[in-house]
Protein backbone atom coordinates (compact mmCIF):
# COMPACT_ATOMS: atom_id res chain seq x y z
CA UNK A 1 0.00 0.00 0.00
CA UNK A 2 1.36 3.39 -0.93
CA UNK A 3 1.08 6.02 1.82
CA UNK A 4 -0.46 9.36 0.99
CA UNK A 5 2.01 12.16 0.33
CA UNK A 6 1.53 15.88 0.11
CA UNK A 7 1.05 17.13 -3.41
CA UNK A 8 1.87 20.55 -4.86
CA UNK A 9 -0.29 19.99 -7.90
CA UNK A 10 -3.22 22.27 -8.71
CA UNK A 11 -6.21 21.14 -6.63
CA UNK A 12 -8.22 18.64 -8.64
CA UNK A 13 -11.06 19.09 -6.17
CA UNK A 14 -11.28 22.85 -6.78
CA UNK A 15 -10.72 22.48 -10.49
CA UNK A 16 -13.30 19.75 -11.17
CA UNK A 17 -16.00 20.39 -8.55
CA UNK A 18 -18.19 23.24 -7.39
CA UNK A 19 -18.80 22.85 -3.65
CA UNK A 20 -22.43 23.53 -2.68
CA UNK A 21 -22.64 22.67 1.03
CA UNK A 22 -21.29 20.50 3.80
CA UNK A 23 -23.73 17.63 4.35
CA UNK A 24 -21.96 15.53 6.97
CA UNK A 25 -19.10 15.16 9.42
CA UNK A 26 -17.83 11.79 10.61
CA UNK A 27 -14.91 9.74 11.79
CA UNK A 28 -13.26 9.96 8.37
CA UNK A 29 -13.70 13.69 7.82
CA UNK A 30 -16.29 15.90 6.14
CA UNK A 31 -18.69 15.20 3.30
CA UNK A 32 -19.69 17.87 0.79
CA UNK A 33 -22.43 18.08 -1.80
CA UNK A 34 -20.74 19.09 -5.04
CA UNK A 35 -21.49 19.54 -8.72
CA UNK A 36 -18.94 18.20 -11.15
CA UNK A 37 -18.23 20.95 -13.65
CA UNK A 38 -17.74 18.53 -16.55
CA UNK A 39 -21.06 16.60 -16.40
CA UNK A 40 -23.21 18.86 -14.20
CA UNK A 41 -24.11 15.91 -11.93
CA UNK A 42 -24.26 16.04 -8.14
CA UNK A 43 -21.84 13.91 -6.08
CA UNK A 44 -20.95 13.40 -2.44
CA UNK A 45 -17.26 14.22 -1.92
CA UNK A 46 -15.61 12.90 1.25
CA UNK A 47 -12.55 14.88 2.34
CA UNK A 48 -10.39 13.37 5.09
CA UNK A 49 -9.12 15.11 8.18
CA UNK A 50 -5.61 16.56 8.35
CA UNK A 51 -3.02 15.18 8.90
CA UNK A 52 -3.71 11.88 7.18
CA UNK A 53 -0.43 10.37 5.97
CA UNK A 54 0.88 7.73 8.33
CA UNK A 55 -2.14 7.90 10.64
CA UNK A 56 -4.83 5.32 11.43
CA UNK A 57 -7.23 7.53 9.46
CA UNK A 58 -5.10 6.86 6.39
CA UNK A 59 -5.69 3.14 6.81
CA UNK A 60 -9.45 3.72 7.08
CA UNK A 61 -9.36 5.88 3.96
CA UNK A 62 -7.37 3.36 1.94
CA UNK A 63 -9.51 0.51 3.24
CA UNK A 64 -12.65 2.25 1.99
CA UNK A 65 -11.16 2.80 -1.47
CA UNK A 66 -9.98 -0.82 -1.73
CA UNK A 67 -13.38 -2.08 -0.57
CA UNK A 68 -15.16 -0.04 -3.25
CA UNK A 69 -12.72 -1.34 -5.86
CA UNK A 70 -13.53 -4.94 -4.91
CA UNK A 71 -17.29 -4.46 -4.62
CA UNK A 72 -18.05 -2.66 -7.84
CA UNK A 73 -21.66 -1.51 -8.30
CA UNK A 74 -24.74 -2.75 -6.46
CA UNK A 75 -28.10 -0.95 -6.00
CA UNK A 76 -27.92 -1.25 -2.20
CA UNK A 77 -24.34 -0.08 -1.76
CA UNK A 78 -23.45 3.61 -2.21
CA UNK A 79 -21.72 3.88 -5.57
CA UNK A 80 -18.04 4.79 -5.78
CA UNK A 81 -16.64 6.84 -8.68
CA UNK A 82 -13.10 7.97 -7.92
CA UNK A 83 -10.49 8.69 -5.24
CA UNK A 84 -7.24 10.63 -5.08
CA UNK A 85 -4.79 12.18 -2.62
CA UNK A 86 -4.29 15.90 -2.48
CA UNK A 87 -2.32 18.00 0.03
CA UNK A 88 -2.28 15.20 2.58
CA UNK A 89 -6.02 14.63 2.23
CA UNK A 90 -7.74 11.58 0.79
CA UNK A 91 -10.70 12.60 -1.37
CA UNK A 92 -13.39 10.10 -2.37
CA UNK A 93 -16.06 10.81 -4.96
CA UNK A 94 -19.24 8.86 -4.22
CA UNK A 95 -22.86 8.75 -5.29
CA UNK A 96 -25.01 11.51 -3.78
CA UNK A 97 -28.05 10.15 -1.95
CA UNK A 98 -30.80 12.76 -2.07
CA UNK A 99 -32.55 11.56 1.11
CA UNK A 100 -29.57 11.92 3.45
CA UNK A 101 -28.87 9.19 6.00
CA UNK A 102 -31.21 7.05 8.04
CA UNK A 103 -29.79 8.78 11.10
CA UNK A 104 -30.96 12.17 9.74
CA UNK A 105 -34.46 10.74 9.29
CA UNK A 106 -34.55 9.28 12.80
CA UNK A 107 -33.47 12.60 14.35
CA UNK A 108 -36.29 14.38 12.51
CA UNK A 109 -38.79 11.73 13.62
CA UNK A 110 -37.60 12.06 17.24
CA UNK A 111 -38.31 15.80 17.17
CA UNK A 112 -41.85 15.07 15.99
CA UNK A 113 -42.35 12.11 18.33
CA UNK A 114 -42.83 9.78 15.36
CA UNK A 115 -41.52 6.30 14.51
CA UNK A 116 -41.14 4.52 11.23
CA UNK A 117 -44.08 2.16 10.62
CA UNK A 118 -43.78 -1.60 10.33
CA UNK A 119 -43.85 -1.58 6.52
CA UNK A 120 -40.91 0.82 6.33
CA UNK A 121 -38.95 -1.09 8.99
CA UNK A 122 -39.32 -4.20 6.85
CA UNK A 123 -38.16 -2.29 3.78
CA UNK A 124 -35.01 -1.18 5.62
CA UNK A 125 -34.32 -4.70 6.87
CA UNK A 126 -34.93 -6.25 3.45
CA UNK A 127 -32.95 -3.78 1.37
CA UNK A 128 -29.96 -3.53 3.71
CA UNK A 129 -29.92 -7.34 3.84
CA UNK A 130 -29.65 -7.32 0.05
CA UNK A 131 -26.65 -5.00 0.27
CA UNK A 132 -25.06 -7.15 2.98
CA UNK A 133 -25.62 -10.32 0.97
CA UNK A 134 -23.67 -8.75 -1.90
CA UNK A 135 -20.86 -7.58 0.42
CA UNK A 136 -20.62 -10.97 2.18
CA UNK A 137 -20.72 -12.91 -1.11
CA UNK A 138 -17.81 -10.74 -2.24
CA UNK A 139 -15.78 -12.10 0.67
CA UNK A 140 -16.02 -8.95 2.79
CA UNK A 141 -17.76 -7.71 5.95
CA UNK A 142 -18.83 -4.14 6.74
CA UNK A 143 -18.39 -4.09 10.56
CA UNK A 144 -19.94 -0.64 11.01
CA UNK A 145 -23.63 -0.99 10.14
CA UNK A 146 -25.63 1.75 11.89
CA UNK A 147 -28.19 4.44 10.93
CA UNK A 148 -25.56 7.04 10.00
CA UNK A 149 -24.04 4.60 7.48
CA UNK A 150 -27.30 3.75 5.74
CA UNK A 151 -28.24 6.27 3.07
CA UNK A 152 -31.54 7.04 1.41
CA UNK A 153 -32.31 7.62 -2.26
CA UNK A 154 -35.79 8.78 -3.20
CA UNK A 155 -36.75 7.30 -6.55
CA UNK A 156 -37.08 9.97 -9.21
CA UNK A 157 -40.07 9.57 -11.53
CA UNK A 158 -39.80 10.79 -15.12
CA UNK A 159 -42.56 11.13 -17.68
CA UNK A 160 -42.78 8.20 -20.06
CA UNK A 161 -43.74 8.34 -23.73
CA UNK A 162 -47.47 7.99 -23.07
CA UNK A 163 -47.53 10.36 -20.11
CA UNK A 164 -46.91 7.47 -17.73
CA UNK A 165 -44.47 7.82 -14.85
CA UNK A 166 -41.44 5.59 -15.00
CA UNK A 167 -38.94 5.05 -12.19
CA UNK A 168 -35.23 5.44 -12.90
CA UNK A 169 -34.38 3.14 -10.01
CA UNK A 170 -32.93 -0.32 -10.59
CA UNK A 171 -35.30 -1.88 -8.06
CA UNK A 172 -39.04 -1.71 -7.55
CA UNK A 173 -40.01 -1.19 -3.93
CA UNK A 174 -43.43 -0.23 -2.66
CA UNK A 175 -42.11 2.58 -0.44
CA UNK A 176 -40.51 4.54 -3.28
CA UNK A 177 -37.26 4.65 -1.29
CA UNK A 178 -33.97 2.81 -1.86
CA UNK A 179 -31.70 2.19 1.13
CA UNK A 180 -27.95 1.90 0.52
CA UNK A 181 -24.99 0.88 2.67
CA UNK A 182 -22.19 3.44 2.79
CA UNK A 183 -18.99 4.33 4.67
CA UNK A 184 -16.79 1.30 4.00
CA UNK A 185 -13.89 2.41 6.21
CA UNK A 186 -14.16 -0.66 8.50
CA UNK A 187 -14.64 -3.22 5.73
CA UNK A 188 -12.33 -6.20 5.93
CA UNK A 189 -11.84 -9.65 4.42
CA UNK A 190 -13.77 -12.59 5.87
CA UNK A 191 -10.91 -15.05 5.32
CA UNK A 192 -8.01 -12.76 6.26
CA UNK A 193 -9.54 -10.21 8.64
CA UNK A 194 -7.81 -7.07 9.86
CA UNK A 195 -10.52 -5.91 12.21
CA UNK A 196 -10.87 -2.25 13.09
CA UNK A 197 -13.68 -2.12 15.66
CA UNK A 198 -16.64 0.04 14.73
CA UNK A 199 -19.17 1.78 16.96
CA UNK A 200 -19.40 -0.04 20.32
CA UNK A 201 -23.13 0.57 20.51
CA UNK A 202 -23.64 -1.77 17.54
CA UNK A 203 -20.74 -4.13 18.13
CA UNK A 204 -21.39 -7.84 18.62
CA UNK A 205 -19.74 -9.33 21.70
CA UNK A 206 -17.69 -11.88 19.74
CA UNK A 207 -15.84 -9.04 17.97
CA UNK A 208 -14.75 -7.62 21.31
CA UNK A 209 -13.61 -11.12 22.26
CA UNK A 210 -11.62 -11.21 18.99
CA UNK A 211 -13.52 -14.25 17.79
CA UNK A 212 -13.61 -13.71 14.05
CA UNK A 213 -14.98 -17.05 12.83
CA UNK A 214 -18.43 -15.65 12.01
CA UNK A 215 -17.74 -12.07 10.97
CA UNK A 216 -20.78 -11.67 8.65
CA UNK A 217 -23.06 -12.41 11.61
CA UNK A 218 -21.68 -9.26 13.34
CA UNK A 219 -23.26 -7.23 10.52
CA UNK A 220 -26.57 -9.02 11.15
CA UNK A 221 -26.34 -8.13 14.86
CA UNK A 222 -25.76 -4.45 14.06
CA UNK A 223 -28.60 -4.41 11.49
CA UNK A 224 -31.11 -5.66 14.10
CA UNK A 225 -30.18 -2.83 16.47
CA UNK A 226 -30.37 -0.34 13.60
CA UNK A 227 -33.94 -1.46 12.86
CA UNK A 228 -34.79 -1.27 16.58
CA UNK A 229 -33.62 2.36 16.62
CA UNK A 230 -35.72 3.08 13.53
CA UNK A 231 -38.70 1.56 15.37
CA UNK A 232 -38.25 4.13 18.15
CA UNK A 233 -36.09 2.47 20.79
CA UNK A 234 -34.05 4.78 23.04
CA UNK A 235 -30.42 5.63 22.12
CA UNK A 236 -28.19 2.60 22.60
CA UNK A 237 -25.64 2.46 25.44
CA UNK A 238 -21.87 2.44 24.88
CA UNK A 239 -21.39 0.14 27.88
CA UNK A 240 -22.98 -0.82 31.23
CA UNK A 241 -25.74 -3.19 32.28
CA UNK A 242 -28.06 -2.48 29.35
CA UNK A 243 -25.19 -3.00 26.89
CA UNK A 244 -24.62 -6.48 28.32
CA UNK A 245 -28.37 -7.15 28.54
CA UNK A 246 -28.69 -6.58 24.79
CA UNK A 247 -25.78 -8.95 24.09
CA UNK A 248 -27.57 -11.63 26.05
CA UNK A 249 -30.13 -11.67 23.24
CA UNK A 250 -32.64 -9.04 24.45
CA UNK A 251 -34.03 -6.42 22.10
CA UNK A 252 -34.21 -3.02 23.84
CA UNK A 253 -37.79 -1.76 24.50
CA UNK A 254 -39.61 -0.58 21.37
CA UNK A 255 -42.39 1.99 22.00
CA UNK A 256 -44.71 0.80 19.22
CA UNK A 257 -46.68 -2.40 18.72
CA UNK A 258 -45.03 -4.68 16.20
CA UNK A 259 -46.01 -8.23 15.16
CA UNK A 260 -44.65 -10.96 17.40
CA UNK A 261 -42.94 -12.73 14.47
CA UNK A 262 -41.13 -9.54 13.47
CA UNK A 263 -39.85 -9.00 17.02
CA UNK A 264 -38.78 -12.63 17.21
CA UNK A 265 -36.78 -12.18 14.00
CA UNK A 266 -34.99 -9.14 15.46
CA UNK A 267 -34.29 -11.12 18.62
CA UNK A 268 -32.85 -13.99 16.57
CA UNK A 269 -30.59 -11.53 14.77
CA UNK A 270 -28.91 -10.55 18.09
CA UNK A 271 -28.66 -14.10 19.44
CA UNK A 272 -25.58 -14.46 21.71
CA UNK A 273 -24.41 -17.35 19.53
CA UNK A 274 -23.55 -15.97 16.06
CA UNK A 275 -24.21 -19.40 14.53
CA UNK A 276 -27.91 -19.01 15.44
CA UNK A 277 -28.27 -15.66 13.71
CA UNK A 278 -29.68 -15.79 10.16
CA UNK A 279 -27.42 -14.92 7.24
CA UNK A 280 -28.21 -12.00 4.94
CA UNK A 281 -29.38 -14.51 2.29
CA UNK A 282 -31.73 -16.18 4.81
CA UNK A 283 -33.15 -12.80 5.86
CA UNK A 284 -34.07 -11.91 2.28
CA UNK A 285 -36.08 -15.15 2.02
CA UNK A 286 -37.56 -14.95 5.53
CA UNK A 287 -41.39 -15.26 5.66
CA UNK A 288 -41.63 -12.06 7.74
CA UNK A 289 -40.04 -10.05 4.92
CA UNK A 290 -40.95 -11.98 1.78
CA UNK A 291 -44.65 -10.99 1.67
CA UNK A 292 -43.64 -7.33 1.39
CA UNK A 293 -41.14 -8.12 -1.32
CA UNK A 294 -43.45 -10.57 -3.09
CA UNK A 295 -46.22 -7.98 -3.12
CA UNK A 296 -43.96 -5.43 -4.81
CA UNK A 297 -42.70 -8.05 -7.28
CA UNK A 298 -46.25 -9.27 -7.93
CA UNK A 299 -47.48 -5.75 -8.59
CA UNK A 300 -44.60 -5.20 -11.00
CA UNK A 301 -45.42 -8.48 -12.75
CA UNK A 302 -49.08 -7.48 -13.04
CA UNK A 303 -48.01 -4.14 -14.46
CA UNK A 304 -45.77 -5.87 -16.99
CA UNK A 305 -48.63 -8.23 -17.95
CA UNK A 306 -50.96 -5.26 -18.45
CA UNK A 307 -48.30 -3.50 -20.54
CA UNK A 308 -47.98 -6.64 -22.68
CA UNK A 309 -51.77 -6.84 -23.06
CA UNK A 310 -51.93 -3.19 -24.05
CA UNK A 311 -49.12 -3.62 -26.56
CA UNK A 312 -50.84 -6.71 -27.99
CA UNK A 313 -54.18 -4.89 -28.27
CA UNK A 314 -52.44 -1.98 -29.96
CA UNK A 315 -50.85 -4.38 -32.46
CA UNK A 316 -54.20 -6.11 -33.07
CA UNK A 317 -55.93 -2.74 -33.51
CA UNK A 318 -53.24 -1.63 -35.92
CA UNK A 319 -53.60 -4.90 -37.86
CA UNK A 320 -57.40 -4.54 -37.90
CA UNK A 321 -57.14 -0.97 -39.19
CA UNK A 322 -54.69 -2.08 -41.85
CA UNK A 323 -56.99 -4.96 -42.85
CA UNK A 324 -59.95 -2.57 -42.98
CA UNK A 325 -58.00 -0.19 -45.18
CA UNK A 326 -56.96 -3.06 -47.46
CA UNK A 327 -60.55 -4.31 -47.67
CA UNK A 328 -61.78 -0.83 -48.58
CA UNK A 329 -59.09 -0.55 -51.21
CA UNK A 330 -59.94 -4.05 -52.49
CA UNK A 331 -63.70 -3.30 -52.56
CA UNK A 332 -63.07 -0.02 -54.32
CA UNK A 333 -60.74 -1.72 -56.78
CA UNK A 334 -63.27 -4.52 -57.36
CA UNK A 335 -66.07 -2.01 -57.95
CA UNK A 336 -63.94 -0.11 -60.43
CA UNK A 337 -63.00 -3.35 -62.17
CA UNK A 338 -66.64 -4.41 -62.38
CA UNK A 339 -67.62 -1.00 -63.69
CA UNK A 340 -64.83 -1.21 -66.24
CA UNK A 341 -65.92 -4.70 -67.35
CA UNK A 342 -69.59 -3.59 -67.69
CA UNK A 343 -68.57 -0.60 -69.79
CA UNK A 344 -66.39 -2.81 -71.93
CA UNK A 345 -69.26 -5.27 -72.60
CA UNK A 346 -71.61 -2.47 -73.61
CA UNK A 347 -69.08 -1.11 -76.03
CA UNK A 348 -68.53 -4.61 -77.38
CA UNK A 349 -72.28 -5.08 -78.02
CA UNK A 350 -72.49 -1.85 -79.91
CA UNK A 351 -69.54 -2.84 -81.93
CA UNK A 352 -71.00 -6.26 -82.84
CA UNK A 353 -74.34 -4.71 -83.87
CA UNK A 354 -72.55 -2.32 -86.22
CA UNK A 355 -70.82 -5.12 -87.99
CA UNK A 356 -74.03 -7.26 -88.43
CA UNK A 357 -75.04 -8.00 -92.03
CA UNK A 358 -78.47 -6.81 -92.89
CA UNK A 359 -80.70 -9.04 -95.05
CA UNK A 360 -80.15 -8.22 -98.75
CA UNK A 361 -82.14 -9.72 -101.63
CA UNK A 362 -80.58 -10.09 -105.04
CA UNK A 363 -82.65 -11.00 -108.19
CA UNK A 364 -80.63 -12.70 -110.83
CA UNK A 365 -82.01 -12.95 -114.30
CA UNK A 366 -80.90 -15.59 -116.79
What average pLDDT does this structure show over 35-51?
90
What average pLDDT does this structure show over 238-257?
96
For position 128, what pLDDT does the model report? 98
Write out the residue limits of the CATH 3.30.200.20 domain(s) in the chain: 1-96
Write out the residue limits of the CATH 1.10.510.10 domain(s) in the chain: 98-320
Higher-confidence position of 268 and 361: 268
Banded pLDDT at 87 (limits 50, 70, 90): confident
For position 233, what pLDDT does the model report? 96
Q: If you average pLDDT over every residue of the chain, what do you get?
A: 84
What average pLDDT does this structure show over 258-279?
97
Banded pLDDT at 213 (limits 50, 70, 90): very high
Which percentage of the chain shows pLDDT scores above 90? 58
Q: How far apart are alpha carbons 212 and 192 in whole angstroms? A: 10
> Is a pLDDT exceeding 90 seen at residue 238?
yes
46 is in an annotated binding site: yes
3-class state of residue 159 by DSSP: strand
> Is a pLDDT exceeding 80 seen at residue 179?
yes
Where in the sequence numbering do the catalytic residues fall? 144
Q: Decide: 158 and 105 in contact? Cβ < 8 Å.
A: no
Indicate the fold that domain 1-96 takes in CATH.
Phosphorylase Kinase; domain 1 (3.30.200)
For position 344, what pLDDT does the model report? 62
H helix runs in the chain, sequence order: 12-16, 56-71, 102-112, 118-137, 205-208, 215-230, 241-246, 260-269, 280-284, 290-355
Banded pLDDT at 69 (limits 50, 70, 90): confident
Banded pLDDT at 26 (limits 50, 70, 90): confident
Query: Does the domain at residues 98-320 carry the CATH identifier 1.20.140.10?
Result: no
What average pLDDT does this structure show over 273-298?
84
Q: Decide: 143 and 186 in contact? Cβ < 8 Å.
A: yes
What average pLDDT does this structure show over 98-115?
94
Amino acid sequence: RCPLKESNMVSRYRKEFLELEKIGVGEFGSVYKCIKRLDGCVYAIKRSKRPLAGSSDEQLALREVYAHAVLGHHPHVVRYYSAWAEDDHMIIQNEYCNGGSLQDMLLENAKLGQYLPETELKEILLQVSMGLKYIHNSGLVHLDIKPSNIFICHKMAVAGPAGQEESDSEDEFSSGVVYKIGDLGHVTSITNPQVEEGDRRFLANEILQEQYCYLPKADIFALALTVALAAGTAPLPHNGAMWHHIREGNIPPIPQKLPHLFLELLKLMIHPDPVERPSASALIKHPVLSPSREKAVQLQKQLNVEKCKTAMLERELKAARLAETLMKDQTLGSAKLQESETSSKQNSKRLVGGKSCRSVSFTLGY
